[in-house]
Structure 1
Amino acid sequence: MEFYHILNRGVDKRDIFLNEKDYLRFVHNLFEFNNQERVDSNRFYFFKRSNIDIGCPYIKKSRKLLVNIHLFCLMQNHYHLLLSSRIEDGIPRFMQKLNMGYAKYFNEKHKRSGALFEGKYKSVLIEKEAHFFHIPYYIHFNPLDFKFPEWRNNDLKDCKKAKKFLDNYRWSSHLDYLEKKNFPSVTQRKFLLEVFGGTDKYKEN
């Protein structure tokens, strides 16, 4: 299985998520467009309760996945994904639907035109073992940029506050890896949890 770190950001580093509905729509698209079958980009299901999940219940059982979405993290002006392909050309097919679908939604909603993203997307094959074990935490730690940018220099002063901040950040798969249901239908977590040694080991790291 080959793993790819996928990154894309707004053109001119502009924000691509302006409010909660934008974030929810992108998470919805992660679920909805991960399907070999044609989908209705206007169908939008989410269930608002103490936790939120995405996707129409009957669609969940019938999807033919293009990719495994192992991880995701959404920031204001960019996003990170960790993907592996389920079929030949699964990643490019999925990414085309994801980027085009979200750009169409964003432009219509916010009354703008033109490119939303700075390019197709950046894709990095994870080849080294050290990179493989590092990348999940790198992706999930990205929201620390908002309040604890020193994390990138391994200089966190208050790890407890940083952890609390991450544990309250909704727009990533981090909470689902902690078994705190957030968007559990979006990601395929079994493989990485086995690599980590389970949820408890993931928490420790």
Structure 2
Amino acid sequence: MKRPKFANNNLYHVYNRGVEKRKIFLDKGDHFRMVHNLFEFNDIALAENIYYKSYELRSHNFKEDNRERKPLVKIHAFCLMPNHFHLLLEQIEDNGVSEFMKKIGIGYAMYFNLKNERSGTLFQGRFKAVHVKDDSHLIHLPYYIHLNPLDMIEPNWRNKEIQNHKKTVEFLNSYRWSSYLDYAGKKNFPLVIETNFLEEIIGKGSEYEKKVFDWLKERGASSLEKSALLE
């Protein structure tokens, strides 16, 4: 797939997966590391700890430091899956998406290889990106990104075939590795994402929760995936 030319104030659905579809997040520490990277590397300044001499985080509850930060992108939504990830990014600095993803790719691969005593490529080539050109595309992406974890408990959710609705709700409300909880009114990783823009479109708190499940019942992801919106 040809990568789009990145322009400031434009939105992009960015994603990548492990080489040979291998798992890239093996435990809670790996998830925390990637979330930490999303925050730490989103800065025009060089990341001092991009190679991580230690793969252990001092604290999972990282806090905003006192240094002046100049973000490369706005992260509007994200989701970490066992063998891949999704990001909804808005470029706000020239070449911001490419620089941010370069930091993410190098930093996480170095951490993962050091921790697991391995070498070589971790990701399946360069990251993929789709330009979000209009509202008809944008309106569906937050739902699609946030519902991806259902693959782990309801493999047919994309075809609107949910076996246990209560279990689905409970699972999404307990899955920490996406921005869903922050939009649903439960602070999870508020320093990582910018919610104001999407909240004006999809709502927040219980309003957003309702819209997510209404979308799941009425549309599902299969029609979206078959269209050009995710390609």
1:65 counterpart = 2:71: yes
Flag the 1:92–1:126 CA change in 2: closer, same or farther, 3 A. Answer: same
Partner of 1:202: 208
Contact 1:68–1:187 (Cα < 8 Å) also in 2 = yes
- For 2:83 and 2:173, how far apart are their aligned partners in 1? 21
1:119 counterpart = 2:125: yes
Matched residue type, 2:158 = R
Say which of 10, 35, 41 aligns to 2:43. Answer: 35
User: What TM-score comes out, normalization by structure 1 length?
Assistant: 0.91
Say which of 21, 29, 42 aligns to 1:21. Answer: 29
- For 2:21 and 2:202, how far apart are their aligned partners in 1? 33
- For 1:81 and 1:114, how far apart are their aligned partners in 2? 24
Shift of 1:45: 5.3
- For 1:128 and 1:194, how far apart are their aligned partners in 2? 16
Shift of 1:198: 3.7
Partner of 2:155: 149
- Any residues of structure 2 matched to 1:1-205 within 5 Å, and which? 1-41=9-49, 42=52, 44=57, 46-47=59-60, 53-59=61-67, 62-205=68-211
Contact 1:28–1:55 (Cα < 8 Å) also in 2 = no
- For 1:146 and 1:189, how far apart are their aligned partners in 2? 26
Matched residue type, 1:5 = H
Partner SS, residue 65 of structure 1: coil
Shift of 1:158: 2.4
How much identity, in percent, do the aligned residues show? 47
Shift of 1:127: 2.0
Flag the 1:45–1:181 CA change in 2: closer, same or farther, 3 A. Answer: farther
User: What TM-score comes out, normalization by structure 2 length?
Assistant: 0.81
- For 2:26 and 2:63, how far apart are their aligned partners in 1? 22
Contact 2:202–2:208 (Cα < 8 Å) also in 1 = yes
- For 2:40 and 2:58, how far apart are their aligned partners in 1? 9
Q: How many residue pairs align between the two structures?
A: 198
Q: Deviations over 1:92-143 (max 9, x none)?
A: 0000001110001100110000000011100011123222111100000000
Q: CA RMSD in A?
A: 1.5
Shift of 1:203: 1.8
- For 1:24 and 1:161, how far apart are their aligned partners in 2? 24
Q: Structure 2 regions of 5+ residues with no counterpart?
A: 1-8, 212-231
Shift of 1:162: 0.6
Contact 2:185–2:206 (Cα < 8 Å) also in 1 = no
Q: Structure 1 regions of 5+ residues with no counterpart?
A: 48-52
Contact 1:28–1:45 (Cα < 8 Å) also in 2 = no
Shift of 1:181: 1.2
Partner SS, residue 118 of structure 1: coil
Matched residue type, 1:16 = I
Contact 2:15–2:84 (Cα < 8 Å) also in 1 = yes
